[in-house]
Amino acid sequence: MSGFVERPGHVEVEGLTHLHTGKVRDLYATAGGDLVMVASDRVSAYDWVLPTEIPGKGRLLTQLSLWWFERLRDLVPDHVLSDTPPPGAPADWAGRTLVCRNLDMVPVECVARGYLAGSGLAEYRVDRTVCGVPLPEGLTDGSELPEPIFTPATKAAVGDHDENVSFAVVAERLGEKRAAELRDLTLALYSRGREIACERGVILADTKFEFGRGADGGLVLADEVFTPDSSRYWPADEWAPGGPQPSFDKQILRDWLTSPASGWDRAADTPPPELPSDVVERTIERYREIHRRLTGGDSGL
Ligand code: ATP
Ligand code: MG
């Protein structure tokens, strides 16, 4: 079991209805039926939302998502209507709020992998496949795959792991045509992202997209895109398959949590402890660094 150490409350804003508090984001509906997504500074690890926040993370990830949405728009429409918080919103929502089309979400997490890591690696070690896709012998932690693969997952409730499934399971659920459409779009978006990241000296090892359907039934890219919360980013010049890669995300705090210094027993069902300030600082610096490397801009965040 796992879950929330404490569940930070959403705020009451006139004209908005609170819909959902996820691990990281708070969702509201406007009177007109649009969706307001507010990214918090919360961070999750090992399926727990940690008691310590990472100041500035919500803004950095929102700005990165926006930057990417712009670079994918010729491939797929996205759900963003505006990045201006609705009237009456708290001042600190600026920069971390997206007003979006409220879509009928496709109940599949669309994952693309170009490299072997995480749950993909774990599956590969069992039977040389990932989500039913056969892979060659001899791959190791961090290996580049012969070609990018679609490895869908079904979305879990808060506190549970998403479950990797095969393409056949998605086809059974959604129909062959829609499953193929999701796979092809997922791989096309991943290729674009990977290419752009590569030009900036960054490996986009894998990523997860969420899609919805618009009024016309067409696929719309929703949620967040190519953020370090939804993607594995590795510095290309340090890539060395055969072990865990240094990554631009919360690896620093994950490593601390599982080190003796934290005193936390991951196996016991006890909440993780507060993070020391140097771990918080080093983590936020990683998020700033990936934002800087990709966008070339000083985030000022
Ligand atoms: P986690 O991603 O940490 O596993 P979560 O998905 O429950 O948890 P968040 O990511 O914080 O929580 O919340 C975003 C929620 O909003 C998700 O359920 C996502 O599917 C949904 N969502 C994203 N974009 C849209 C959209 N345009 N219309 C409707 N729902 C959306
Ligand atoms: Mg999510």
Indicate which atom in ligand 1 lies nearest the CA of residue 220. Answer: 27
Is residue 66 domain-shared with residue 126, that is, in the same domain?
Answer: no
Q: What is the CATH number of the domain that holds 176?
A: 3.30.470.20
Is residue 72 domain-shared with residue 212, that is, in the same domain?
Answer: no
Is residue 56 domain-shared with residue 96, that is, in the same domain?
Answer: yes
Is residue 123 domain-shared with residue 146, that is, in the same domain?
Answer: yes
The more confidently predicted of residues 1 and 238 is 238
Give the ligand at the shortest distance from the Cα of 21. 1
Final residue before a domain boundary, out of 52, 73, 100: 100
Sole residue written with tokens 């670079």: 71
Sole residue written with tokens 């580049």: 144
Please report the pLDDT score of residue 157 as a whole number: 63
Q: What is the pLDDT of residues 50-73, one digit of tens each?
A: 999 999 999 999 999 999 999 999
Give the whole-angstrom CA distance, residue 133 versus residue 78: 29
Is residue 150 domain-shared with residue 194, that is, in the same domain?
Answer: yes
Sole residue written with tokens 């290309």: 236
At residue 58, φ and ψ (nearest 5 deg) are -60, -40
Q: What is the mean pLDDT of residues 251-267?
A: 94
- The answer to whether 197 touches 288, Cβ cutoff 8 Å, is no
Final residue before a domain boundary, out of 100, 123, 156: 100
pLDDT over 60 at 264, yes or no: yes
Give me the number of domains the chain comprises: 2
Indicate which atom in ligand 1 lies nearest the CA of residue 24. Answer: 11
Q: What is the mean pLDDT of residues 129-151?
A: 98
Final residue before a domain boundary, out of 42, 65, 100: 100
At residue 173, φ and ψ (nearest 5 deg) are -75, -45
Q: 223 alpha carbon to ligand 2 midpoint, in Å? A: 7
Give the whole-angstrom CA distance, residue 154 versus residue 193: 23
Strands 97-100 and 104-105: unpaired
Q: What is the ipTM of this complex?
A: 0.94
pLDDT over 60 at 83, yes or no: yes
Indicate which atom in ligand 1 lies nearest the CA of residue 21. Answer: 11
Q: What is the pLDDT of residues 211-249, one digit of tens each?
A: 999 989 999 999 999 999 999 999 999 999 999 999 998
Is residue 36 domain-shared with residue 131, that is, in the same domain?
Answer: no
Six-digit token string for 91: 């001042």
Is residue 27 domain-shared with residue 113, that is, in the same domain?
Answer: no
Give Cα separations from 110 to 217, 226, 241, 292 (angstroms).
18, 12, 25, 26
Give the whole-angstrom CA distance, residue 243 versus residue 241: 6
Identify whether 68 is part of a domain.
yes
Give the whole-angstrom CA distance, residue 264 versus residue 282: 20
Q: 32 alpha carbon to ligand 2 midpoint, in Å? A: 23
At residue 292, φ and ψ (nearest 5 deg) are -65, -45
Of all protein residues, the one whose alpha carbon is nearest to atom 12 of ligand 1 is 22
Give the mean pLDDT of the chain.
93
Identify whether 141 is part of a domain.
yes
Indicate which atom in ligand 1 lies nearest the CA of residue 210. Answer: 20
Give the whole-angstrom CA distance, residue 223 versus residue 119: 21
The identity of residue 181, as a single letter, is: E
Q: What is the mean pLDDT of residues 166-191?
A: 98
| Structure confidence at residue 4 as a pLDDT band (50, 70, 90) | very low
Identify whether 281 is part of a domain.
no
Identify whether 270 is part of a domain.
no
| Structure confidence at residue 8 as a pLDDT band (50, 70, 90) | low
Q: What is the pLDDT of residues 17-49, one digit of tens each?
A: 999 998 999 999 999 999 999 999 999 999 899
Indicate which atom in ligand 1 lies nearest the CA of residue 162. Answer: 4
Of all protein residues, the one whose alpha carbon is nearest to atom 9 of ligand 1 is 22
Please report the pLDDT score of residue 3 as a whole number: 42
Of all protein residues, the one whose alpha carbon is nearest to atom 3 of ligand 1 is 23
Q: 22 alpha carbon to ligand 1 midpoint, in Å? A: 7
Is residue 198 domain-shared with residue 217, that is, in the same domain?
Answer: yes
| Structure confidence at residue 160 as a pLDDT band (50, 70, 90) | low
Question: Sign of the C-alpha dihedral, residues 104, 155, 289, 53?
Answer: positive
Is residue 179 domain-shared with residue 116, that is, in the same domain?
Answer: yes
Q: What is the CATH number of the domain that holds 53?
A: 3.30.200.20
Is residue 38 domain-shared with residue 61, that is, in the same domain?
Answer: yes
Q: What is the pLDDT of residues 279-298, one digit of tens each?
A: 999 999 999 999 999 999 77
Q: What is the span of the domain harbouring residue 180?
A: 104-258
Residues in Cβ contact with 12 at an 8 Å cutoff, skipping those fewer than 6 apart: 18
Is residue 125 domain-shared with residue 254, that is, in the same domain?
Answer: yes
Of all protein residues, the one whose alpha carbon is nearest to atom 6 of ligand 1 is 22
Residues near ligand 1 with C-beta < 6 Å?
A: 22-25, 27, 35, 44, 79, 100-103, 105, 158, 210, 212, 222-223
Identify whether 301 is part of a domain.
no
Give Cα separations from 15 to 34, 95, 280 (angstroms).
11, 20, 35
Kindly state the DSSP code that residue 299 receives in the 8-state scheme.
-
| Structure confidence at residue 85 as a pLDDT band (50, 70, 90) | very high
Please report the pLDDT score of residue 5 as a whole number: 42
Identify whether 287 is part of a domain.
no
Is residue 118 domain-shared with residue 155, that is, in the same domain?
Answer: yes
Identify whether 67 is part of a domain.
yes
Q: 280 alpha carbon to ligand 1 midpoint, in Å? A: 25
Identify whether 263 is part of a domain.
no
Strands 25-30 and 16-21: antiparallel
Question: Sign of the C-alpha dihedral, residues 123, 128, 132, 136?
Answer: positive
pLDDT over 80 at 139, yes or no: yes
The predicted model scores a pTM of 0.93
